[in-house]
């Protein structure tokens, strides 16, 4: 059995706590390695190493720090297949989807190559008589991030790339479900020229997270994961005086107006609802057709597409639409919620409960499910399922559809399918959700814009990546300077003219 490690001070460090978690291959259900769960003492030691390494890194000029990022991009491209394979093996997502996971993180690293420009301060000449004023953006010091299982490459890079480009040290506590890719990323950063101790990976669970929250040297915490943990980390981190941003769960609605291109909408829903087995915080999990006639047309198009989905292991090649879910517990939870949907009166149009894959009977595969006539009081509507289950809620008007999305506790992403610009514009302006797609099903913003949900999907005032991330990972210092006049009067710089 392979034993994974931490990555501390430029080296793999064996776990010392005696506690481990199993890392599965979700396609076969086998335990493929065990990951050490750090003790408080191990976390504190990594923080001390980071604190010692950070000042020298902050003193490296931003252009040189950017060059490390440039080289890191080259190494990510060099090792793309290796990273994607390790990612699929622990997460279960298809190989092309795993490459997308690395690619979307890589794009944030590319954005961070602009650090010299992004870190330029502000300057006011002659703010008063002989007085100049300028603002600088300075790194925070030791920063930390806690990441979820579903994007083990992209989300760590969302955090550590801007943190490091700004001159901070960063401690990553990745998900204990798929820790291999985060460890590989730390090795590659060092190969790219990052000094030892500036980026470290400490594997663990609640004990490691609490140690980061309690350590006064840690200046900021970034978190992405489920909402109850986001709320816990946000409140405890803020109470400890840290800068904190936390991103939580989701229930993303797609509104389908009667004038929408129904083939386009159905294709979009299949990709956004079932891609990555629905284990995406930007997955569409609720379809809201407006009007019964629209709903009937949509279900008629959707059902055969959902039935045709190919579910299998990443090793089966590019024809697979999605893979297994991450653990047996996740599978059980999804199937339990499907049962509550049936019990509470929703109509199960496509039933994936009996899905079995020959040769992979112990894998965590879940067949695709499609519900119609779901109502807002049902558990499958209120809760995040995080599986290949799409619920259809029929609305009788645009206002009712808008109200559904607005009243839901989550506010990560949403989409509208329509040919009418006026409706789309009204929707984008009024909706209380952080990321909006117009005829685009998964509106994940590109690296130079920012990513963040509203309501119970996001806590804190700055988003991830884009210019927000450079604000999150720096403090502003403003200097007001006055130099006494007269010094320059003493010198004689010119030949005096003869009197
Ligand atoms: P999770 O909340 O179970 O775990 C996330 C991280 O928190 C992991 O590193 C885990 O070790 C740690 N953790 C777990 N329990 C903890 C506890 N009691 N105390 C302290 N730390 C703890 O989430 P997950 O299952 O890994 O990821 C799926 C969730 O993440 C979904 O809810 C999904 O919507 C959400 N997500 C949100 C976004 C976003 O940007 N909003 C992006 C991706 C995933």
The CATH number given to whatever domain includes residue 271 is: 3.40.309.10
Mean pLDDT to the nearest integer, 399-419: 98
Predicted confidence at residue 498, as pLDDT, reads: 53
Both 76 and 189 in a single domain?
yes
Convert the pLDDT of each residue in 137-161 to its tens digit.
Answer: 999 999 999 999 999 999 999 999 9
Predicted confidence at residue 10, as pLDDT, reads: 96
Predicted confidence at residue 94, as pLDDT, reads: 97
Tell me, using a 6 A CB cutoff, whether residue 234 lines ligand 1. no
Q: Kindly report the CATH number assigned to the domain that includes residue 119.
A: 3.40.605.10
Q: Using the mean position of ligand 1's atoms as its centre, give its distance from the Cα of residue 206 in Å.
A: 11
Mean pLDDT to the nearest integer, 121-127: 95
Return the DSSP state at 315. G
Convert the pLDDT of each residue in 166-222 to its tens digit.
Answer: 999 999 999 999 999 999 999 999 999 999 999 999 999 999 999 999 999 999 999
Question: Best mutation site among 148, 173, 207 for ligand 1, i.e. most ligand atoms within 8 A of its Cβ?
Answer: 148
Tell me, using a 6 A CB cutoff, whether residue 150 lines ligand 1. yes
Q: What are the C-alpha distances in Å from 373 to residues 292, 309, 395? A: 10, 22, 10
Q: Using the mean position of ligand 1's atoms as its centre, give its distance from the Cα of residue 372 in Å.
A: 29
DSSP 68-87: HHHHHHHHHHHTHHHHHHHH
Convert the pLDDT of each residue in 267-301 to its tens digit.
Answer: 999 999 999 999 999 999 999 999 999 999 999 99
Q: Can you read off the two tokens belonging to residue 402?
A: 């808008």
Q: How far apart are CA 475 and CA 219, in angstroms?
A: 11
pLDDT exceeds cutoff 80 at 499: no
Q: Is 281 a catalytic residue?
A: yes
Q: Using the mean position of ligand 1's atoms as its centre, give its distance from the Cα of residue 377 in Å.
A: 25
Percentage of the chain lying above the pLDDT 90 cut: 95
Both 28 and 171 in a single domain?
yes
Assign 495 a pLDDT band (cuts: 50, 70, 90).
low
CA-nearest residue, atom 36 of ligand 1: 225
- pTM of the full predicted structure? 0.96
Residues 6+ apart with CB under 8 A from 150: 91, 276, 279, 280, 281, 326
Both 64 and 203 in a single domain?
yes
Both 144 and 240 in a single domain?
yes
| Strands 11-13 and 6-8, sheet pairing | antiparallel
Convert the pLDDT of each residue in 303-350 to its tens digit.
Answer: 999 999 999 999 998 889 999 999 999 999 999 999 999 999 999 999
Predicted confidence at residue 345, as pLDDT, reads: 98
448 within some domain: no
Tell me, using a 6 A CB cutoff, whether residue 229 lines ligand 1. yes
Convert the pLDDT of each residue in 429-455 to its tens digit.
Answer: 999 999 999 999 999 999 999 999 999
pLDDT exceeds cutoff 90 at 78: yes
CA-nearest residue, atom 28 of ligand 1: 225
Both 277 and 222 in a single domain?
no
* Full domain range(s) for residue 12: 2-248+457-479
Both 215 and 354 in a single domain?
no
Assign 426 a pLDDT band (cuts: 50, 70, 90).
very high
Both 197 and 276 in a single domain?
no
pLDDT exceeds cutoff 70 at 497: no
pLDDT exceeds cutoff 70 at 488: no
Both 367 and 415 in a single domain?
yes
Predicted confidence at residue 303, as pLDDT, reads: 98
CA distance between the termini of the chain? 95
Question: Best mutation site among 229, 408, 462 for ligand 1, i.e. most ligand atoms within 8 A of its Cβ?
Answer: 229
What's the mean pLDDT when you consider all of the chain? 96
Report helix, strand or coil for 243.
Answer: strand
Residue of 112, 166, 246, 281 marked catalytic = 281
pLDDT exceeds cutoff 70 at 492: no
Both 411 and 461 in a single domain?
no
Tell me, using a 6 A CB cutoff, whether residue 290 lines ligand 1. no
Tell me, using a 6 A CB cutoff, whether residue 175 lines ligand 1. yes
Both 238 and 260 in a single domain?
no
Return the DSSP state at 199. E
Residues 6+ apart with CB under 8 A from 465: 108, 111, 158, 162, 445, 447, 448, 449, 450, 451
426 within some domain: yes
The tally of domains found in the chain comes to 2
């Amino acid at each position: 059995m392979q034993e994974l490690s931490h990555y501390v001070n430029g080296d793999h460090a064996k776990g010392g706590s005696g506690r481990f978690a199993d890392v599965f291959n979700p396609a076969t259900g086998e335990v493929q390695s065990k990951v050490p769960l750090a003790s408080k003492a191990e976390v504190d030691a990594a923080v001390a190493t980071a604190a010692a390494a950070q000042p020298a890194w902050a003193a490296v000029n931003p252009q040189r720090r950017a060059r490390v990022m440039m080289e890191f991009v080259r190494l990510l491209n060099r090792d793309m297949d290796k990273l994607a394979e390790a990612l699929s093996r622990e997460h279960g997502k298809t190989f092309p989807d795993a490459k997308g996971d690395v690619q979307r993180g890589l794009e944030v690293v590319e954005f961070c190559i602009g650090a010299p420009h992004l870190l330029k301060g502000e300057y006011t000449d002659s703010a008063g008589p002989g007085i100049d004023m300028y603002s600088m953006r300075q790194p925070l010091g030791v920063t930390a991030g806690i990441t979820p299982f579903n994007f083990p490459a992209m989300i760590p890079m969302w955090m550590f790339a801007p943190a490091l480009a700004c001159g901070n040290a960063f401690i990553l506590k990745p998900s204990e479900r798929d820790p291999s890719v985060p460890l590989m990323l730390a090795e590659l950063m060092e190969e790219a020229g990052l000094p030892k101790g500036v980026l470290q990976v400490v594997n663990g669970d609640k004990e490691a997270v609490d140690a980061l929250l309690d350590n006064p040297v840690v200046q900021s915490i970034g978190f992405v994961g489920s909402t109850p943990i986001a709320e816990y980390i946000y409140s405890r981190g803020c109470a400890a005086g840290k800068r904190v941003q936390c991103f939580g769960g989701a229930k993303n609605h797609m509104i389908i107006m009667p004038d929408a291109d129904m083939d386009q909408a159905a294709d979009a829903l299949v990709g956004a609802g079932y891609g990555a087995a629905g284990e995406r915080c930007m997955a569409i999990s609720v379809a809201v057709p407006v009007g019964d006639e629209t709903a009937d047309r949509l279900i008629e198009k959707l059902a055969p597409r959902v039935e045709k989905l190919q579910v299998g292991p990443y090793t089966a090649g590019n024809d697979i639409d999605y893979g297994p879910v991450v653990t047996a517990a996740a599978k059980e939870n999804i199937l339990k919620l499907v049962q509550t949907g049936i019990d509470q009166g929703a109509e199960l149009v496509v039933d994936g409960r009996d899905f079995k894959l020959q040769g992979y009977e112990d894998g965590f595969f879940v067949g695709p499910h499609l519900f119609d006539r779901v109502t807002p009081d049902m558990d499958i509507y209120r809760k995040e399922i995080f599986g290949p289950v799409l619920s259809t809620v029929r609305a009788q008007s645009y206002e009712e559809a808008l109200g559904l999305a607005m009243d839901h506790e989550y506010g990560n992403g949403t989409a509208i399918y329509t040919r009418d610009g006026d409706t789309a514009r009204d929707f984008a302006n009024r909706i209380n959700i952080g990321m909006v797609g117009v005829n685009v099903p998964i509106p994940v913003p590109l690296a130079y814009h920012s990513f963040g949900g509203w309501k119970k999907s996001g806590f804190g005032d700055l988003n991830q990546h884009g210019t927000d991330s450079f604000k999150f990972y720096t403090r502003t210092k403003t200097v007001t300077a006055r130099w006494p006049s007269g010094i320059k009067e003493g010198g004689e710089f010119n030949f005096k003219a003869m009197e």
